[in-house]
């Protein structure tokens, strides 16, 4: 942009050139004028000079404003971080900023006068056609996500926002804003896949637990009843034996002992498959029963704090919590060498917290991260569908704390 000094110099040159075409009055013509006329003429020229200078000042200010506006336009349009395109009603690119050229991988000059469809991925050409048709039909702002193709052939996801320009109620041009959303689209796909994996994992766990439940019922009702009936028959047979049949009585007693062991084994198998008390009496009763049975036999003192409204938990979540509780107690019994353990299941607002703490020998980080820590792996597997968090901490040889956290655990209300 020219400075004010240079602008005045240019105007001076132009004025002198014009004076040569329109010469000033001669000396004789001036002599014929009165002094009053000459003074009036000089005053008029002086006023005219000041007026021209004022006009020149205004013109300079206007030029400066136009220059500043052009620079702002350059910063907003050309230097924008997203792509700006202007399309004609036929889809030809009329103008493009630097970001659009950079995103597509070419120059602005090579973009101009080309159809935008040349840069739309072949599989999304129909989507782009419908997008343009919707703009023309509605003549309103439209948004579309599709794949575009760079000049080197690489494909990327783009979000396009179109604002039509109308003239005499007809679409004359269209302003487009577009940017590369490949990263967010990839994250979206990952999240969608994770959601599918969560659902699949949850369904597998549910199917596995239902199978276990069905098998536990069959073992309990059929095999358990069969063993009980056999025990009753043998007891009857023992009573019917005549005196002096000590050898037979001894054999029958041995058989009854085996049957009792079989019945106990059936009960243990049923508990491992599915603790029926969980279905009959609920989570709190099942946890108390399991702790009393296994921790007491291992000579480990325990206390349970249960502060959860079970009505908020669906059946699938109850079995997940119980299985995690089971696995945690198994680790305490097998590995901790603890004498005391504290179990807590509490609800805080929208968060469910299960914590098992013992006073045993503790656990190392290497053991926590080990691929052979099948108990912890099983807990993480059960937590995965619920986006739960597992934390295991060691208290410097003074015990271990296992903490499970779940948010948004409440079951959805169902219509009766």
Tens digit of each residue's pLDDT (9 = 90 or more) over 326-372: 888 988 898 888 999 999 999 887 889 999 999 988 877 777 777 77
237 and 358 share one domain:
no
pLDDT at 122: 92
Q: Is 113 left (phi over 0), alpha (psi -120 to 50) or beta?
A: left
Q: Are residues 134 and 230 in the same domain?
A: no
Please indicate, yes or no, whether residues 267 and 218 belong to a single structural domain of this protein.
yes
State whether 286 and 407 are in the same domain: yes
Cα distance between residue 342 and residue 356, in whole Å: 6
* 390 domain residue, yes or no: yes
Do 113 and 240 lie in one domain? The reply is no
- Check whether residue 416 and residue 292 sit in a common domain: yes
Answer whether residue 90 is part of any domain. yes
Structural domains in the chain (count): 4
Indicate whether 265 and 302 sit together in one domain. no
Instruction: Say whether 191 sits in a helix, a strand or coil.
Output: helix
Higher pLDDT, 408 or 58: 58
Q: Which residue has the higher pLDDT, 17 or 319?
A: 319
Question: Confidence class of residue 2 from pLDDT cuts 50, 70 and 90?
Answer: low
165 neighbors 175 (Cβ within 8 angstroms): yes
Q: What is the pLDDT of residue 68?
A: 66
CA–centroid distance for 119 within its chain: 29
Same domain, 162 and 142: yes
pLDDT of residue 415: 43
* Confidence check: pLDDT of 136 > 60: yes
CATH number at residue 314: 3.30.565.10
Between these two residues, 74 and 105, which has the higher pLDDT value?
Answer: 105
- Could you tell me the pLDDT band of residue 52, with boundaries at 50, 70 and 90? confident
Task: Assess whether pLDDT exceeds 60 at residue 414.
Answer: no
Domain boundary among 180, 200, 233: 180
Are residues 287 and 414 both part of a single domain? yes
The residue segments making up the domain with residue 346 are 282-416
Asked if residue 215 belongs to a domain, the reply is: yes
Tokens (6 digits) for 44 = 């008029």
Tell which wins on pLDDT, 250 or 15.
250
Percentage of the chain beyond pLDDT 90 is: 18
Question: Do 327 and 300 share a domain, yes or no?
Answer: yes
Clarify whether residues 320 and 357 are in a common domain.
yes
- Residue at a domain's end among 149, 180, 211: 180
Which band of pLDDT confidence, cut at 50, 70 and 90, is reported for residue 306?
A: very high
pLDDT for res 411: 59
What span, in angstroms and rounded, lies between the C-alpha atoms of 13 and 19? Answer: 10
Q: Is residue 3 part of a domain?
A: no
Q: Phi, psi (5° rounding) for residue 318?
A: -60, -45
User: Does residue 25 have a pLDDT over 70?
Assistant: no
pTM above 0.85, yes or no: no
Mean pLDDT taken over the chain: 82
Instruction: Single out the residue in 180, 212, 231 at which a domain terminates.
Output: 180
11 within domain boundaries: no
Q: Would you say 292 and 271 are in contact if contact means Cβ atoms under 8 Å apart?
A: no
- Indicate whether 43 belongs to any domain: yes
Q: How many helices (H) and strands (E) does the chain have?
A: 14, 10
* 5-9, 43-47, 142-146, 173-177, range with the lowest pLDDT: 5-9
Task: Give CA–CA dist 133/127, Å, rounded.
Answer: 10
Does position 3 have pLDDT exceeding 80, yes or no?
no
Report the sign of the C-alpha dihedral through residues 116, 122, 127, 130, in that order.
Answer: positive
Same domain assignment for residues 117 and 213: no
The verdict on residue 302 lying in a domain is yes
**3 state DSSP class of 340:** strand
The helix (H) or strand (E) run that includes residue 253 is helix 246-273
**Residue of 93 and 196 predicted with greater confidence:** 93
User: Has residue 277 got a pLDDT over 70?
Assistant: yes
Distance CA 290, CA 326 (A): 8
Helix (H, G, I), strand (E, B) or coil at 341: strand
Look at strands 389-394 and 340-348 and give their pairing: unpaired
What is the C-alpha separation between 288 and 281, in angstroms, rounded? 11
Residues contacting residue 154 through CB under 8 Å, at least 6 positions apart: 105
Residue range 242-258: average pLDDT? 88
Whether residue 77 contacts residue 84, with contact meaning beta carbons closer than 8 Å, is answered with yes
Residue 13 in any domain: the answer is no
């Amino acid at each position: 942009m020219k400075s004010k000094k240079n602008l005045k110099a240019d105007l001076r040159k132009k004025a002198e050139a014009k004076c040569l075409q329109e010469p000033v009055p001669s000396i004789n013509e001036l002599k014929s004028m009165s002094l009053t006329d000459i003074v009036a003429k000089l005053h008029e020229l002086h006023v005219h000079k000041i007026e021209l200078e004022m006009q020149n000042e205004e013109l300079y200010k206007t030029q400066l404003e136009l220059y500043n506006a052009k620079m702002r336009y350059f910063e907003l349009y050309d230097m924008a971080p997203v792509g700006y395109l202007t399309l004609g009603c036929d889809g030809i690119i009329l103008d493009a900023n630097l970001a659009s050229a950079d995103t597509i991988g070419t120059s602005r000059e090579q973009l101009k006068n080309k159809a935008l469809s040349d840069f739309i991925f072949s599989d999304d050409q129909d989507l782009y056609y419908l997008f343009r048709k919707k703009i023309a039909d509605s003549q309103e702002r439209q948004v579309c996500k599709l794949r575009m193709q760079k000049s080197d052939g690489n494909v990327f996801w783009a979000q396009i926002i179109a604002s039509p320009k109308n003239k005499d109620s007809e679409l004359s041009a269209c302003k487009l804003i577009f940017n590369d959303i490949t990263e967010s689209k990839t994250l979206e796909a990952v999240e969608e896949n994770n959601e599918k994996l969560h659902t699949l994992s949850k369904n597998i766990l549910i199917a596995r637990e239902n199978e276990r439940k069905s098998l536990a019922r069959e073992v309990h009702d059929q095999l358990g009843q069969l063993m009980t009936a056999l025990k009753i028959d043998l007891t009857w047979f023992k009573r019917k034996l005549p005196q002096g049949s000590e050898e037979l009585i001894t054999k029958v007693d041995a058989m009854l002992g085996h049957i009792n062991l079989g019945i106990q084994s059936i009960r243990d198998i049923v508990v491992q498959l599915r603790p029926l008390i969980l279905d009959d009496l609920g989570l709190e009763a099942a946890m108390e029963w399991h702790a009393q049975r296994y921790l007491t036999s291992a000579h480990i003192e325990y206390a349970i704090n249960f502060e959860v409204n079970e009505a908020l938990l669906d059946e699938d979540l109850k079995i997940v919590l119980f299985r995690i509780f089971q696995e945690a107690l198994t680790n305490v019994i097998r590995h901790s060498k603890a004498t005391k353990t504290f179990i807590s299941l509490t609800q805080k607002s929208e968060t469910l917290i299960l914590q098992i703490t013992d006073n045993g020998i503790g656990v190392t980080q290497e053991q926590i991260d080990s691929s052979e820590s099948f108990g912890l792996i099983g807990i993480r597997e059960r937590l995965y569908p619920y986006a739960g968090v597992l934390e295991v901490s060691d208290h410097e040889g003074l015990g271990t704390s296992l903490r499970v956290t779940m948010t948004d655990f409440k079951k959805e209300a169902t219509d009766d």
